[in-house]
Amino acid sequence: MIRRNPTLIPMTDSDVQDIREIVAKAKADEQQHQAILNTMSRLSKTSKITSEDRDMQDILESMDAKVEEEKRKE
């Protein structure tokens, strides 16, 4: 059983768990997004193309594919 503070909205334990999972996923996505932005910022300051640049391109392409797949599901 999940311990939680009482609310005015009737919620089951599975509702609470679903919300916790959604929040955890959103936080993880935001952290991943921030890490990618930091890496992109660092890579943009150098003029040489390195293997890290190619890795970043692969990451961005996979993210784009994931977004397109989610759009198709809607």
Render pLDDT for 37-55 as a digit per residue (tens, 0 to 9).
888 888 888 777 788 888 8
Stated pTM of the model: 0.58
Residue in this structure with the two tokens 């939680």, named with its chain if needed? 4
In Å, how far are 4, 21, 45, 46, 57 from 52, measured between CA atoms?
A: 44, 32, 13, 11, 9
In the prediction, which pLDDT does 46 show? 77
More confident residue, 70 or 31: 31
Q: What residue ranges do the domains of the chain occupy? A: 14-73
